[in-house]
Amino acid sequence: MIRFLPLFFSAFFLPSISSAQTDSTSVLHAQCRDADTGANLPYVTVVIRRSGELPRVYITDLHGRIEIEGLAPGVIHIQARHHGYAPSDTTLVLLRGLISTLELSLLPTPILLREETTVQDLSAPELIRRLIASTRFEYLHTSHVNMHTYAFDAYSTQKVINRRTEDIIAGIEYTIKGYYQSPDSLAQHITGIRNWGKWRLSVSPGLTQSPARGIVDDKFFEIAPHPLSSDALEHYHYERISTVHVGDLHVSRIGVSPRHGQKPGLLGDIWIARDDFSLVGYDLRLNFPALLQLRGIDHWQVYQQNTRYLNAYWLPARQICTIKTRDYTAQATTRSHRYDLNADLPPTIFEAPEIVILPEATTRDSTFWAAHTADRDTAHIRMKSELLQGNLPAAWQRLGLDRNR
């Protein structure tokens, strides 16, 4: 669930150049597409090389995009690689304080697929019907009979932006140790946290299980039906936009929109693995009628991208929650990794509230952060060196109070 905290509310959720407020660094926005169909290519490996430096490697999101901040100005060499496509290479000059945009087209090359990956040409409603019929942990992932538990690590950053000046006025970063137990138990322990700035808006910490519900101004809301509910096909229109290869798998992008536009609902895209009908990810936002029910909210969106583990399980890798009011934008990005499947977890983990701030979380020293943020360009490092203790958003402070009761 997402919670939202504005100033007056309490709540828990081809190359081109343009100007940007990036100080002495540069920003790169790249888009990878299939050269034949124009389809966006997710999970493309993008390698950036610079003379005298080690290469930097990035993976495109489900829309085929990468956005990289904090790059040093100068000449870079970029190569995009994807299984089943010829590599695409180019050279780009990054300019100080500017955003460079780049589109990379990859030519398909024949690959030999394993026999078991042959799939039927299913329509969008049929793909959604198969996904709905499968056992899922809400919007996080598809459940599996041989996956009973897992533990994972996560690193998250959140920033608040003044929409008029585009200045970042507050930032926070934190680490999570997460635990899952089938069928629907999730515990998230915040193990380290530091922050700065003045909070005008915030998203609650941790992974949200569904983009269809949250709390605004201490009032709970839920979009029903949502695009993966049992009766969703009666209320939503689904369109297959594209199908691409991810390795030797097939992933379809399904466009989603309410059949009755005047009713509250969700808009966007859902990605489905056509080989086993697992949830690969989604990018969904509230439509205008839904926003009318949320006082002061102009935009509410959740993006989630899963990664396939052990060639069987699609589990969350990245989740981005974005909330906007008239004056501010809050965006939280959480990256999950180091999954330990079928871990032996004590039942007491799930007896506490779902999200807990551990007592030692706000007292972590520089050694802890050096180990957990290596090679990360964090908002804390870029924007402020001073740690302001006790300046957490109000919703986060309530988490701490709940913990101490």
> In CATH, what number is assigned to the domain containing residue 30?
2.60.40.10
Contacts of 232 (CB under 8 A, 6+ apart): 128, 132, 225, 226
Ordered DSSP codes for 94-130: E-TTEEEEEEEEE-B------GGG------HHHHHHH
Helix (H) or strand (E) holding 269: strand 266-273
**How many CA atoms within 13 Å lie on the side-chain side of 223?**
33
Of 47, 74, 106, the residue that ends a domain is: 106
Question: Three-state SS for 131?
Answer: helix
192 in any annotated domain: yes
**Neighbour count for residue 331 (Cβ, 10 Å):** 17
Helix (H) or strand (E) holding 381: helix 379-383
111 in any annotated domain: no
Q: Tell me what pLDDT residue 311 has.
A: 81
Kindly state whether residues 215 and 297 are assigned to the same domain.
yes
Of 106, 135, 157, the residue that ends a domain is: 106
Kindly state whether residues 298 and 357 are assigned to the same domain.
yes
Kindly state whether residues 267 and 151 are assigned to the same domain.
yes
Q: Please report, for residues 21, 41, 207, 208, the alpha-carbon distance to residue 138 in angstroms, rounded to integers and kept in the order given.
A: 38, 25, 12, 10
In the chain, the amino acid numbered 380 is H
* Beta bridge partner(s), residue 40: 33
Kindly state whether residues 318 and 360 are assigned to the same domain.
yes
In the chain, the amino acid numbered 344 is D
**Neighbour count for residue 165 (Cβ, 10 Å):** 9
117 in any annotated domain: no
Count of structural domains within the chain: 2
Q: In terms of residue numbers, what domain contains 86? A: 16-106
Kindly state whether residues 54 and 148 are assigned to the same domain.
no
pTM beyond 0.95: the answer is no
Which pLDDT tens digits describe the chain residue by residue (405 residues)?
Answer: 555 544 333 344 444 444 454 467 888 999 999 998 899 999 998 999 998 888 888 889 999 999 988 888 999 999 998 888 889 999 999 988 888 999 999 998 865 544 444 556 789 999 999 999 999 999 999 998 889 999 999 999 999 999 999 899 999 999 999 999 999 999 999 999 998 888 878 888 899 999 998 877 677 888 889 999 999 999 999 999 998 888 778 899 999 999 988 899 999 999 999 889 999 999 999 999 999 988 889 999 999 999 988 888 999 999 999 999 999 999 999 999 889 999 999 989 999 889 999 999 988 888 888 877 654 544 333 333 333 334 566 666 656 544 333
